[in-house]
Amino acid sequence: MSINLEYYKVFYYVAQLGSITLAAERLCISQPAVSQAVRQLEQSSDSQLFLRTSKGVRLTREGEFLYEYVKSGLDSIWHGENMLKRMKDLDTGEVRIGASDMTLQFYLLPYLEQFHELYPGIKVMVSNGPTPETLRFLYEGKIDFGVVSTPFEAKAEVLSTPVKEVENVFVAGDKFRYLEGKKLSYDVLKELPCIFLEKNTSTRTFMDQYLAERGVEVEPEFELSTSDMIVQFAIRNLGVGCVMSGFARVELEKGNLLELKFEEEMPKRHFSIITDGKTPVSPAGKRLLQLMTNDIS
């Protein structure tokens, strides 16, 4: 049986209102059109769906049986339409983001706070991990977008927008005060105990590449998973740590750490927003991206 969905919509309102006249008024169509739709549905189903009475119409047993299914189906469709409208109006929905500890803390967090104030009904899900993991989530369609730090290698369909400039610094505790104020060569790192991030991070990749270009290869004493821990190890004089400057700022201001200065400054890098050109972003994700990119000068 192949019946136009509009016939079921007509059937629904006739059954609900108990009147062909009222159904025609509700649907803004003529009474003959309503009667024809009901007749077509009855012929197609080979069933009498309504009994005509002096006060209008009422469902037969077959009609009552069909009505429960039609009501359920139309309610689901209308609920879906309503939810879609609410998603577009940003009353509901979700946005999925990939970010590292560094990009979350020093870039993304204020925007999430602002977004939550504007759209409290939107669920925000953050997958926290290093840049390679964020890229994998983007390829797999598990996130709307990611915020990563350069350098990184991505597929051709990935669109990257730089949003904030950042820099790496080398820091150490009081035990290394004798290096303070000196302009050092990077070769000195070969003679010092070093504390670096693990190799699956963009910060470590950037530093390793930069040092290698200058003929400096360093085997760190410690390889840690977070920059916060590097700062704590450095405060305890366990070695010279390399972190994004934001992680060390407070301890540098307190005097618990000193920043090593070098003859040649390490170039700055960037936080970047990444999206997949082949995968659509949710309405909520688009709005959050708009908030973030509006601040780009």
Residue count (the chain): 297
Same domain, 277 and 244: no
Nearest to 150 by CA among 294, 249, 275, 268: 268
**Domain end among 64, 88, 112:** 88
Same domain, 257 and 176: yes
Same domain, 243 and 175: yes
Confidence of residue 211 (pLDDT cuts 50, 70, 90): very high
Confidence of residue 1 (pLDDT cuts 50, 70, 90): very low
Given a cut of 60, is residue 24 above it in pLDDT? yes
Cis check: omega of the bond before 151, within 30 degrees of 0: yes
Reported as a single tens digit per residue, the pLDDT across 31-65 is: 999 999 999 999 988 899 999 888 889 999 999 99
Q: What is the CATH number of the domain that holds 133?
A: 3.40.190.10
Q: What is the pLDDT of residue 82?
A: 65
Backbone angles phi, psi at 48, to 5 degrees: -90, 120
Reported as a single tens digit per residue, the pLDDT across 97-141 is: 999 889 999 999 999 999 999 988 888 999 988 888 999 999 988
Amino acid found at 48: Q
Same domain, 239 and 178: yes
Average pLDDT estimate for 228-255: 96
Q: What is the CATH number of the domain that holds 57?
A: 1.10.10.10
Query: Which of 101-105, 162-166, 281-285 is least confident?
Result: 281-285
Q: What is the pLDDT of residue 33?
A: 92
Domain extent, residue 34, equals 5-88
Average pLDDT estimate for 143-169: 92
Same domain, 117 and 75: no
Number of independent structural domains in the chain: 3
Amino acid found at 87: M
Confidence of residue 295 (pLDDT cuts 50, 70, 90): low
For residues 263 and 183, is the Cβ–Cβ distance under 8 A?
Answer: yes
Overall pTM > 0.95 = no
For residues 10 and 38, is the Cβ–Cβ distance under 8 A?
Answer: yes
